Structure 1
């Protein structure tokens, strides 16, 4: 993220913000165009000479003009009489901007951007929908976004109050290295209301709940002052989101959470609107943002359906970039599908696969994303056990979501909530470690077989789960480790010719692939040596099929 400081009466200063430090350049000409790369986030900061009353409520916008059209982007107040125009661009070329403001010193200020083509590896822009392939997610450059999420509600708290964010960087790097490309997170959470593991008493460094020094409003969670927002909180949060952007991790940002003991202002009050609007204003320019109004939005009786609808409309009105928005509440999404960009699910039932499949059929023009499926892999502490804690069982539930044609989220109890072990692989041998590597293997597999072209064909399931990619001539059959046989011949004969077809097996725990051999079309080969039987779930991959209906 880069910063540019302007005064309405002095000079333009260009600051490039490294993630741990700020580098500064001064430009001798205030009207010199600002050059930035495609999808790079920049701040242009305007400082007023006079103190402004009620600064958070002032209407300040940047009107951006280019050949692609116009944008009206809200500025946000950043303390010390500064208003920030945070900007990024998905398109290259020259753009001009003019500030429109009820603050006379800022009104009429203008400048230009020159946007150059992105050169950063693995940067593809924001997450968007695709009308031609509506049940999958894509990046702005057209490449598929394989939404593989990791829950970390207290990410904002890891390095709070520090100039640099080494713990945050370390954890995000682990996620990046292991195939995750999204973090489901809260702007703010206070504490959990369930019992805490007594073993935490010996490791207070892993406990982030209940801290009174962290709060997005003035005062503290115990003694809130809603008259203004805590700018320092958001300056720290900037570092977190910017680091995620640098590591190409999407922030699935849940703006509210009702069951984490937060002292929120009353709904629809001036303070409530100020907070919500501020989050939208401050973070919309980041391409790695996906909005979520609230975690479990309608579950605790705090919010109403009408309130959530108003919040969605409010976000869409303020967000000049049109970032995707959803609500962590399947009932709300089910009843208001046209108001959300993708369907969010939370489902712990043993019929998870079937429930995901039914949702996909019910909403053929929306991606389906299971944010919470009751699988919370065990950690050194019992934080929230949910329905499943065994690592392999949790992994299987993630695969069930994928083989139903949806996207999924992984939870590790050592990082999902108030307990955050940012460096799990540097802990003592007695600490149980998360199985992040399972998801690295998963990500690699589904990129290889082009998940965006796959669809679940349930009548092909045989004794496992089917995903079929007709476009690329691939069929996948997921089989639990207890299963010794998968029948594929009938499904293949009805949809493909297979003279050149090959097959190999994929181990979901190790990522190991068997040798690729000629497809075995024996109809009832019960006695074949299915690899890793009883040891690991496996996926049969059949390739080089030729669809008969294309």
Structure 2
């Protein structure tokens, strides 16, 4: 198809010869990856309209003999693969005799390595529990003739497996193993609970307190180890991170390893993965699990100079199937189809729907899954989406929308990007620690979960939000304090509560009549009169969310009563019904 006015500029830039033409006619574009990322969504007609008439005509003359590149053919396993190979079920196989519940059971097999096993070979295993439960896990090729199938058993007791493959030596291998009780700290994968909240599979409450380190696994080893050390002493129990490396502001370094064979200069072979890249990724994911941190894994993003965001549908599907097969057995994986899906010019809604279907059908464990926006929201009512992964919609008002979003979609609201504490030049990355903390509280009392990020300038461009390293801000300790408040809160979680005419100026969260949390944010009253249901007594705590103190009032209250406040910002008041057996106070030995 010839390039036309409605062709996205991204298709021009993706075409090697057309890209050279564009850069020759408009030299200012070359090397401006950050600018081009946004221009790719323009149509060619819109771009041409921005040029002088002479430049427009010259560009059209050179583009006219060129055509848009066609999509790659489907990449499917071969029905005729290995027809002359070894006999059926003859491959060498190894597996452990036991595995813990919600742990990773790994079946290792030595098989054929001719052709391209990443594409040519299909492998799966059917797992069956003694009492009848069954599931199918997909296998994957790890190079050098080695294959794996990973499975997360969700029931204790005796299990058997049987492999299925178009490679005869890998087909119909059978075995069994025993699943034991989970080890201490293993609560299973996180699921949605009570529509708007979360719990681990064993019923233990999970309150997501997230942060973002997009490209932390694409740095040198010492920096990655420092990131893990920082996380170990942080309040965060969820981390947003990318599979692919990132090219963006303050992200100019090349990663130590790449996901595919080939090179940027000579091109990538999108049909051949680099196992070392994925082994490194899963090592870091496993280490997050040891720290009790959920890995919110971003499968695609637009901040790319290597071409991984523009691979085409067939190679996208191959990649999605491969990643799901390698990682779905890790109990602490969350799937994020994309960070800022709407910036990815080469993908339409039908592409996201197709790939989400691939992930959910290939993941036998039903991990949480969502997709993240930049500007317009994705349709979070789609049945495959378990929770809403949201970016701010306004420079100022952000977490204040939480209760509205809960009503709109009826799913948990995880505000993964409310802006970042820091001092970079752009508005998404220079709010104060006080404002970051305020947004986290604002979202919490409205029944949602607001995530953290940090973008303080660094002489070596080591900004936490992308590369990790150390935290420098003042909000993490305060977010940890909030986490403690929430963990001490009602077992059912906090939801937004209806307000009387006297409470128009303050958000209230909790459980009606039994647990109420008022958050005053940047307002600073010197006192507050509370009017509660007659005959119900409450303990009252005055909470300074910035100085991290809780002051229990000396008497119990009922009916209408006045509570004196210090007249400063970021105060909260907690009311707990006396017969609800109030929990102990949070320790007050916080720093910073």
TM range (shorter): 0.7 to 0.9
Q: Is the 8 A contact 1:337 1:343 kept in 2?
A: no
Q: Does 1:373 align with 2:418?
A: yes
Aligned to 1:539: 572
Q: Is the 8 A contact 1:171 1:422 kept in 2?
A: yes
User: Which whole-Å CA distance do the structure 2 matches of 1:10 and 1:96 have between them?
Assistant: 18
User: Which whole-Å CA distance do the structure 2 matches of 1:422 and 1:387 have between them?
Assistant: 17
Return the match for 1:210 from 244, 253, 269: 253
Q: Is the 8 A contact 2:430 2:455 kept in 1?
A: no
- Shift of residue 279, structure 1, vs aligned partner: 0.9
User: Which whole-Å CA distance do the structure 1 matches of 2:556 and 2:570 have between them?
Assistant: 20
Aligned to 1:102: 166
- Shift of residue 268, structure 1, vs aligned partner: 4.3
Q: Is the 8 A contact 2:421 2:432 kept in 1?
A: yes
Aligned to 1:422: 469
Aligned to 1:468: 510
- Secondary structure of residue in 2 paired with 1:309: helix
Return the match for 1:315 from 359, 366, 369: 359
Return the match for 1:154 from 215, 218, 226: 215
- Shift of residue 332, structure 1, vs aligned partner: 4.7
Task: Give the root-mean-square deviation of aligned CA atoms.
Answer: 2.8
User: Which whole-Å CA distance do the structure 2 matches of 1:387 and 1:190 have between them?
Assistant: 17
1:293–1:106: structure 2 CA closer, same or farther, 3 Å change rule? same
Aligned to 2:440: 398
- Shift of residue 287, structure 1, vs aligned partner: 0.6
Hey, which of these two has a bigger chunk of helix by percent? 2
1:155–1:469: structure 2 CA closer, same or farther, 3 Å change rule? same
Aligned to 2:398: 352
User: Which whole-Å CA distance do the structure 1 matches of 2:550 and 2:102 have between them?
Assistant: 37
User: Which whole-Å CA distance do the structure 2 matches of 1:135 and 1:419 have between them?
Assistant: 29
Q: How does 1:46-65 map to 2 (within 5 A)?
A: 46-48=109-111, 50-57=112-119, 58-65=121-128
- Shift of residue 514, structure 1, vs aligned partner: 1.1
User: Which whole-Å CA distance do the structure 1 matches of 2:116 and 2:207 have between them?
Assistant: 43
Q: Does 1:341 align with 2:405?
A: no
Aligned to 1:440: 480
1:68–1:440: structure 2 CA closer, same or farther, 3 Å change rule? farther
Larger Rg: 2
Q: Is the 8 A contact 2:436 2:475 kept in 1?
A: no
Aligned to 1:88: 152
> Runs of 5+ in structure 1 lacking a partner?
1-6, 15-32, 197-207, 425-431
Q: Is the 8 A contact 1:333 1:344 kept in 2?
A: no
User: Which whole-Å CA distance do the structure 2 matches of 1:416 and 1:139 have between them?
Assistant: 31
User: Which whole-Å CA distance do the structure 2 matches of 1:125 and 1:335 have between them?
Assistant: 25
Which region of structure 1 is more displaced relative to structure 2, 59-68 or 34-43? Answer: 34-43
Q: Is the 8 A contact 1:190 1:221 kept in 2?
A: no
Return the match for 1:498 from 515, 518, 536: 536
Q: Is the 8 A contact 1:378 1:385 kept in 2?
A: no
1:416–1:545: structure 2 CA closer, same or farther, 3 Å change rule? farther
Q: Is the 8 A contact 1:497 1:546 kept in 2?
A: no
Q: Does 1:252 align with 2:252?
A: no
Q: Is the 8 A contact 1:99 1:108 kept in 2?
A: yes
User: Which whole-Å CA distance do the structure 1 matches of 2:225 and 2:102 have between them?
Assistant: 21
Q: Does 1:120 align with 2:184?
A: yes
- Shift of residue 9, structure 1, vs aligned partner: 5.6
Aligned to 1:512: 549
1:338–1:331: structure 2 CA closer, same or farther, 3 Å change rule? farther
1:11–1:266: structure 2 CA closer, same or farther, 3 Å change rule? closer
> Runs of 5+ in structure 2 lacking a partner?
1-87, 457-461, 581-592
- Secondary structure of residue in 2 paired with 1:386: helix
Q: Is the 8 A contact 2:89 2:172 kept in 1?
A: no
Q: Does 1:78 align with 2:142?
A: yes
1:68–1:504: structure 2 CA closer, same or farther, 3 Å change rule? farther
- Shift of residue 150, structure 1, vs aligned partner: 0.5
User: Which whole-Å CA distance do the structure 2 matches of 1:296 and 1:335 have between them?
Assistant: 14
1:13–1:310: structure 2 CA closer, same or farther, 3 Å change rule? closer
1:265–1:186: structure 2 CA closer, same or farther, 3 Å change rule? closer
1:404-447: per-residue Cα shift (whole Å, max 9, x none)? Answer: 211111011157667535134xxxxxxx5453211211111100
Q: Is the 8 A contact 2:141 2:147 kept in 1?
A: yes
1:300–1:97: structure 2 CA closer, same or farther, 3 Å change rule? closer
Q: How many residues align?
A: 481
- Secondary structure of residue in 1 paired with 2:281: helix
Aligned to 2:235: 179
- Secondary structure of residue in 2 paired with 1:502: strand
- Shift of residue 373, structure 1, vs aligned partner: 1.4
Aligned to 1:27: none
Aligned to 2:263: 220
- Secondary structure of residue in 1 paired with 2:416: strand
Aligned to 2:18: none
1:268-313: per-residue Cα shift (whole Å, max 9, x none)? Answer: 4432222121111111001101111111112343321111111111
1:85–1:416: structure 2 CA closer, same or farther, 3 Å change rule? farther
- Shift of residue 212, structure 1, vs aligned partner: 5.3
Q: Is the 8 A contact 1:186 1:254 kept in 2?
A: yes
User: Which whole-Å CA distance do the structure 1 matches of 2:132 and 2:200 have between them?
Assistant: 18
Aligned to 1:188: 244
Q: Does 1:483 align with 2:524?
A: yes
